[in-house]
Amino acid sequence: MSRLVVRAGRRFLARHPWQLALAIAGVALGVAVVTGVDLAGTAAQRAFDVSRQVVAGAATHQIVSPSGAFDESLFRTLAVDRGLERIAPSLEGRVVLDDGRVLTLTGLDPFSEAPFRSYGASLAEGARVGNLLTEPGTVVATPELAADLDIAPGGTLVIDVAGKRVLLRLVGLLYPGVAESALLRDYLFADIATAQEVLGRIGRLSRIDLILDERTADGLRKDLPPGTELVATGAQSRNLMEMTEAFRINLRALSLLALLVGAFLIYSTMSFLVVQRRRVIGMLRTIGVSRRQLFAAVIQESFLVGVPGTAAGLVLGWLLGSVLTSLVVRTIDDLYFRLEVAAVPLAWGLMFKGALLGLGVTVAASLAPAREAAAVSPRSALSRASLEWKVRRRLPVLVVMAVTIGVAAVLLLRLADDSLLTAFAGMFAVIVAAALMTPPVIAAVMGLLSRGVGRYLDMPLRMALRGIEASLSRTGVAVAALMVSVATVVGVGLMVGSFRSSVDRWLADSLRADMYVSLGEAWYADGGDGDRLTVTLRDLPEVARVTRSTRTRVTTPDGEMRLWALDPGDGDWGLALISGDPVRARQEFDAGRSVLLSESFARRAGLSAGDDVELPSARGTSVFQIAGVFRDYTSDRGVVALHMDRFRDDWQVRRIDGLGVVASAGTDSRGLRRAIDGVLGGGRGIRVASNREIRSASLAVFDRTFTITRVLQLLVGVVAFFGVMSALQSQQMERVREMAVLRALGWTPGQVRRLVLGQTATLGVTAGLLAMPLGVALAAILIRVINVRAFAWTMEFDIDPWVLAQGMGLAAAAAVVGGVYPAWRSARRRPANDLRDE
């Protein structure tokens, strides 16, 4: 290890502060994005775990019923006759407060709960916990809820349930952990007897929690009465994770892409720094500095970039993590389920990983330049021509490598498996192959241009073209980096755009009614009757048709299944079939004999039109034929659609979630709205929205969901922009002396400026143009492969020219801005200064 060589290198870096700073910024941003996404993921993961903990506690299994509730005598059979030791019942139902807030009343048997959950409790003054059993109508709640309701233990609250007003008395407070507290904010707890009485569900239970070993579970499963299911809680929490896995993988991939771009920039910068010092390196080799010493010196220098870059990146990453967390949580909240995250935990493990990643990537990106430095043979350092020639000789190698990797990429992508990992691997391989192809392509293009078009250009521009070809060793990497980043921005932009227009089209297809009425908990609590309302609306002269819809989730041993009960009446059902005969399917559907599967469901379950599917219902299992598959973006887990009448029969659920109202001929939307409002009166828990309002609200959710993607896209763009700008800039600064020679020969400052700007602009435009096909390819992969594997739905591929234009603009801007400063400097410098001491 030569200290002086290292010292010389350090000072060299210090003399190029802008390059150093930008390389550091490249590392910092890459590390920040990866760490931020990781932190957000961890925070979400913790929130999952907490909600799983709250859901299942220590229970290994649960008995539930597809129709929601089952007979309580099953508990006695299991606890007494069968002698199961760890078994606990529960009954849940919704109650509504005066202000319309909906709470969940949960009834439990305190004597059974100990093995499952334990929350601290405090006794209220003047009331005893035993009162929960002996006094009907008593509840406990978390302090947060008590504060919300503005009651203290001993106080009372009034609720509406099933059309009755009931007085409840708060006799104590619950103290679960902080995270659980957030999730339990809308819950009231009571003794199970009280719950049955208040909810009017004497004789029923919603759930039985169990702790069982597998053998007992298997034996039990067979003996359960029809209408009840034994599900493993592991399966449920797996479901939670699976639901958002695709979403999180997408985030992860985007963050790795950011890191890849950052790595590219580090490589490009370090490689510049080496190339700029070839002569010094050659000289050092002549006086006996060994290859190993030079290699080590460059690696050490990279730490000067890596360490501060990583440190800054971790700090930024933590900040970014907080921002991303709230975005992620809000998205999951919007799309999947309620999630509460208190604060972003400072996960030291993750920070350590981020640090390793930052340093690792820096060193890895510096390996090639370090090797290059070590490979400088003492003799050839003195002439640059041979370097370029060597690079030129390497071009065919690059082409071969690019083609090989490209073929590998295609193979990976065509692999018929379902793995997201191979899909992303394939995508990265495509990117790498394209990057490798860039220098050869530039060489070819510049050669063609200068030979073809050269004669029509003036001197500066002609030299610009030739200069690019000649300095491939320096420009190649920068252009590849710019191209990859622009392609990423374009690809992601095209994908999101295509998705959005597909969703928009689908919304237009699905929303067939003019107005939609949604019937909520409070309305039912006030005594609303969905069927009666349907009839009343149908009788209105302004109304041509009323459709009914209910969505519910059914727990099966394989996880949760979403059912959509639909009664489209006589009109268009708004389902876009992608397989199955539409006419026959409609007939079968209306007859209640068949179901339709959404695309995601069909893909995941491996089912198609003509197959049979078994659904657990109140009758045990109901078997249906699949009449067709329809396009649906409401859930990436998939939906099973069936006719409402059949649903009501088999699932014993009378509830209607929503009505669609179609106006009769000659009625405008205002008139329809007025008519509907007239029927509804001022009831609470009921909402009316027009077709257009729903459409824009849905798209708003969509846009919110993709905020994260856009944020990451922006970051990639920023990283690319600055990094490439710096690379091009430093390259031009390096050539300032050459410009001085030209000036000495008589070129005007204007001509010099044109040379410099012409060169960078050409590079930029070339990068941009090359980025277009790559961007389209990336978008195609994202849409056709990754989205399909992640979410199991397909969408139309729309190539939005505006996105392409933005990409070109980004490339050109980076290149031009990168050239402005050097152009100005080159033109301004006095040639004498630069010619001295040549």
Residues 778-807 that bind another protein (CB under 8 A): none
Which one of residues 54, 433, 436, 790 is an interface residue with another protein (CB under 8 A)?
A: 54
> Least distance to another protein from the beta carbon of 767, Å?
31
Interface region with another protein, contact rule CB under 8 A, candidates 276-284, 703-711, 795-803, 817-825: 276-284
Written as six digits, the tokens of 358 are: 């930052």
User: Is 412 strand, coil or helix?
Assistant: helix
> Least distance to another protein from the beta carbon of 235, Å?
13
| Position 169 contacts another protein (CB under 8 A) | no
In angstroms, the CA 813 to CA 757 distance is 12
DSSP 478-492: HHHHHHHHHHHHHHH
* Eight-state DSSP code of residue 606: T
In angstroms, the CA 14 to CA 441 distance is 35
CB atoms under 10 Å from CB of 139, counted, come to: 27
The values of phi and psi at residue 598, to 5°, are -75, 160
| Position 2 contacts another protein (CB under 8 A) | yes
| Position 174 contacts another protein (CB under 8 A) | yes
Which one of residues 235, 283, 578, 699 is an interface residue with another protein (CB under 8 A)?
A: 283
Residue 60 or 608 having the CB closest to another protein: 60
Residue 9 or 369 having the CB closest to another protein: 9
| Position 162 contacts another protein (CB under 8 A) | no
> Least distance to another protein from the beta carbon of 111, Å?
5
Which one of residues 40, 63, 103, 183 is an interface residue with another protein (CB under 8 A)?
A: 183
Residues 308-327 that bind another protein (CB under 8 A): none
Rg of the chain on CA atoms, in Å: 34
Which one of residues 158, 178, 286, 584 is an interface residue with another protein (CB under 8 A)?
A: 286
In angstroms, the CA 21 to CA 19 distance is 5
| Position 279 contacts another protein (CB under 8 A) | yes
Amino acid making up residue 833:
N
- C-alpha to C-alpha distances, 261 to 106, 179, 432, 722, nearest whole angstrom: 52, 37, 11, 12
* Eight-state DSSP code of residue 89: E
Which one of residues 20, 31, 74, 92 is an interface residue with another protein (CB under 8 A)?
A: 92
> Least distance to another protein from the beta carbon of 569, Å?
26
Q: Which of 340, 233, 334 is nearest to 635 (CA)?
A: 334
Which one of residues 17, 111, 570, 746 is an interface residue with another protein (CB under 8 A)?
A: 111
The H-or-E segment that residue 714 falls in is helix 707-734
Residue 380 or 579 having the CB closest to another protein: 380
The H-or-E segment that residue 559 falls in is strand 559-567
> Least distance to another protein from the beta carbon of 290, Å?
4
Which one of residues 19, 35, 51, 302 is an interface residue with another protein (CB under 8 A)?
A: 51
Residues 205-234 that bind another protein (CB under 8 A): 206-207, 209
Interface region with another protein, contact rule CB under 8 A, candidates 104-112, 262-270, 320-328, 658-666: 104-112
- With tokens 């003794």, the residue in question is 191
| Position 550 contacts another protein (CB under 8 A) | no
In angstroms, the CA 765 to CA 771 distance is 9
| Position 85 contacts another protein (CB under 8 A) | yes
Residues 128-147 that bind another protein (CB under 8 A): 128-130, 132-134, 136, 140
- With tokens 């009769």, the residue in question is 664
Contacts of 667 (CB under 8 A, 6+ apart): 542, 543, 675
Q: Which of 21, 29, 36, 170 is nearest to 105 (CA)?
A: 170
| Position 833 contacts another protein (CB under 8 A) | no
Which one of residues 20, 74, 192, 515 is an interface residue with another protein (CB under 8 A)?
A: 192
Residue 123 or 813 having the CB closest to another protein: 123
Which one of residues 101, 175, 578, 652 is an interface residue with another protein (CB under 8 A)?
A: 175
Residue 236 or 475 having the CB closest to another protein: 236
Which one of residues 49, 101, 119, 831 is an interface residue with another protein (CB under 8 A)?
A: 119
DSSP 172-206: EEEE--HHHHHHTTTEEEEEHHHHHHHHT-TTEES
Written as six digits, the tokens of 124 are: 């209220």
In angstroms, the CA 170 to CA 190 distance is 10
Which one of residues 38, 160, 191, 632 is an interface residue with another protein (CB under 8 A)?
A: 191
Which one of residues 81, 125, 150, 570 is an interface residue with another protein (CB under 8 A)?
A: 81
Residues 491-530 that bind another protein (CB under 8 A): 520-521
Interface region with another protein, contact rule CB under 8 A, candidates 192-200, 311-319, 480-488, 761-769: 192-200
> Least distance to another protein from the beta carbon of 239, Å?
9
Residue 175 or 428 having the CB closest to another protein: 175
> Least distance to another protein from the beta carbon of 261, Å?
30
Residue 108 or 405 having the CB closest to another protein: 108
- Cβ atoms of 528 and 650 within 8 Å: the answer is no
Residue 19 or 90 having the CB closest to another protein: 90
> Least distance to another protein from the beta carbon of 139, Å?
9
Amino acid making up residue 77:
T
Residue 328 or 477 having the CB closest to another protein: 328
Residues 445-484 that bind another protein (CB under 8 A): none
Residue 174 or 778 having the CB closest to another protein: 174
Which one of residues 9, 354, 658, 758 is an interface residue with another protein (CB under 8 A)?
A: 9
Size of the site for another protein (CB under 8 A): 104
Written as six digits, the tokens of 829 are: 């410098």
Amino acid making up residue 466:
R
- C-alpha to C-alpha distances, 139 to 105, 142, 145, 167, 182, nearest whole angstrom: 9, 11, 12, 11, 18
Which of 743-776 are b and which e, b meaning 16 or more Cβ less than 10 Å from the residue's Cβ?
A: beeebeeebbbbbbbbbbbbbbebbbbbbbebbb
| Position 83 contacts another protein (CB under 8 A) | yes
- Cβ atoms of 27 and 306 within 8 Å: the answer is yes
Residues 335-394 that bind another protein (CB under 8 A): 337-338, 377-379, 382
Written as six digits, the tokens of 577 are: 């079939």
Which one of residues 35, 90, 709, 759 is an interface residue with another protein (CB under 8 A)?
A: 90
Contacts of 722 (CB under 8 A, 6+ apart): 22, 25, 26
In angstroms, the CA 537 to CA 532 distance is 9
Which one of residues 288, 349, 606, 666 is an interface residue with another protein (CB under 8 A)?
A: 288
Residues 565-594 that bind another protein (CB under 8 A): none
Residue 132 or 259 having the CB closest to another protein: 132
Evaluate the CA torsion angle 289, 291, 293, 298 in order and state its sign. positive
- Cβ atoms of 218 and 557 within 8 Å: the answer is no
Which one of residues 165, 393, 553, 584 is an interface residue with another protein (CB under 8 A)?
A: 553
Amino acid making up residue 174:
L
Residue 123 or 399 having the CB closest to another protein: 123
Amino acid making up residue 811:
A
Which one of residues 20, 37, 44, 190 is an interface residue with another protein (CB under 8 A)?
A: 190
CB atoms under 10 Å from CB of 663, counted, come to: 21
Which one of residues 71, 144, 197, 526 is an interface residue with another protein (CB under 8 A)?
A: 197
Residues 708-747 that bind another protein (CB under 8 A): none
- Cβ atoms of 139 and 173 within 8 Å: the answer is no
In angstroms, the CA 285 to CA 297 distance is 13
> Least distance to another protein from the beta carbon of 201, Å?
9
Interface region with another protein, contact rule CB under 8 A, candidates 90-98, 321-329, 769-777, 823-831: 90-98
- Cβ atoms of 24 and 308 within 8 Å: the answer is yes
